[in-house]
Amino acid sequence: MNFTRWSARLPGTQRRAAARTDDVVTEDRLSEGAVPAARAEQLTVPVPAVDELPVREVLDRVPALVALVHGPDHRLAYVNDAYVVAFGLRPTGEPARRALPELDEIGLLPLLDQVLRSGKPRTVKSRKAPDGRSYTFTCTPVTEGHGGGGSGVLVFATDVTDHAEAAERLRASERRQRETAVTLQRSLLPQELEEPDDLRIAATYLPGGTEAAVGGDWYDVITLGGGRTALVIGDVMGRGVRAAAVMGQLRTAVRAYARLDLPPHEILQLLDGLAMEIDANQIATCAYAIHDPNEGKLVYASAGHLPILVRDESGVVLRADEPTGPPLGTGGWMHASGSIPLGPGSTAVLYTDGLVERRDEDLDEGIAALERALAGATGTPQVICDRLVRSAGVTAEHDDDVAVMVLQHPAHTGPDGDLFRNAALELLGGVEAAPRARAFASGVLTSWRFPVELHDLGVLAVSELVANSLQHGTPPMRLRLRRTDRRLIVEVTDGDDHLPRRRRAEPGDESGRGIAIVATIASNWGSRRTPGGGKAVWCEFVLPKG
């Protein structure tokens, strides 16, 4: 085959020929004095034209791999020395499927068909060849002879093995970093959720897809004592190990602050200051809620987080929209608490934006879709949690982290109803208040069929807490007894907001021993300020199993 006829018709040849004509005109003008003589002398030095160079000799010396095929079955016309070194001698005149099996193995033959049909060059980046090296292939159409008697494809392969290996090392490094962040993230989340007496809770965390670094989504369940439960969910802005580390610090702080038994907005106020100390450039959203089964509602505060959704016992879904303050770490904002009903038979959902936010739709549309899914979701909290994730279209390739927490306040009926009981007594004050409280407690605990030992401890705790309230508190005063399937809770409220503390009473002291006695006999005790002023002091006893 005459290779010169093929080389003469490579794309761009005609443009270069026209350029050479312009150069001749320019040189003629230069000889007339258009530029200095020294410049003119440099331009008149004879330079061989590209078309005059021996093309085959040039291609044989090119370090890249070159092959030329022609015809519809891509019969091999030429391979250069670099190609022979890489893959060995190749028989000319044979179809590429037999002559160039390495191109067939990497799937390049369909590309040759496209180039031949379209007459346009195509490039395939970083394909690994059978010799173990990576190449970028450029396939360019060529025409045989000046009359266009035949067509072919010039295959030009550049060795990019070093670049491919560097890219793979970078991807491997990113995978290791992501695995580290995911491991850190999961280790900082609760390994097992605490199980309150009056709530059934399930939670799910799904990291973003393989192309996205893990974020800072988190959640927690904290039993506060006295039958109350704190629920928290948050999202640290950003991705990677840094976001996970900040998340861990905030979660640890929330657990510490929760022990203070403060209202939700005060917890967020403390977290806001801490977030600024951790990193002034790092912000996070958070929703903190407290459930008290006696009040039948969820008291919450939100720092830039998405609204809590509650489905009541009739299937109606409510959205806790207000109040919502700015994210944590912004500073200068006074958060406020709100409430939403959560009575027996209700289900609530706390979630992060990965569940409802999509690039192609408004955020409110995602929340509305979640409301519809919650309205039709039934079953255990874990079943509902899984169903909500599926309905939102969350997959392993999802581009954002997702955290979901579902809680149910079950309606106890039948035999379970006997295991969850309440009794309350208004304390009017006076010397008869303490004996009346003891008599009331004794009657209630007897009707609840508690063993004698637990009955006596409960009556003693009631006596000490009521006496403490009568001595140090102010009206209105109230005694409340509550039993669950796991514990007995005794709580006394009054109008004074001074919280008692346990202290060592000296032998001559006439007071100071009540709280110490309660702390000794009870499994747990505590106190908190109540909304609108006043305080509640409580203790609880674990019921014997069986």
Model pLDDT for residues 81-98, shown as the tens digit of each residue: 899 999 989 898 999 999
Determine the Cα–Cα distance for residues 382 and 393; give it in Å rounded to an integer: 17
**Token code pair at residue 14:** 């005609």
Residue type, 326: P
Give the contacts of 58 (CB within 8 A, at least 6 positions apart). none
Which residues in the chain come in under a pLDDT of 70? 1-53, 144-150, 181, 185, 209-215, 240, 396, 505-512, 546
Determine the Cα–Cα distance for residues 116 and 139; give it in Å rounded to an integer: 9
Cβ of 25: how many Cβ atoms within 10 Å? Answer: 9
With CA atoms as reference, report the closest residue to 188 among 262, 225, 237, 241.
241
Determine the Cα–Cα distance for residues 370 and 368; give it in Å rounded to an integer: 5
pLDDT at 137: 93
**Token code pair at residue 450:** 């508690």
Q: Say if residue 468 is exposed, middle or buried (CB neighbours under 10 Å; 0-12, 13-18, 19+).
A: buried
Q: Report CA-CA distances (Å) from 235 to 46, 216, 217, 232, 403.
A: 71, 5, 4, 11, 9
pLDDT at 518: 94
pLDDT at 44: 54
pTM of the model: 0.70
Cα 256 to its chain centre, rounded Å, is 24
3-state secondary structure 485-516: CCEEEEEEEECCCCCCCCCCCCCCCCCCCHHH
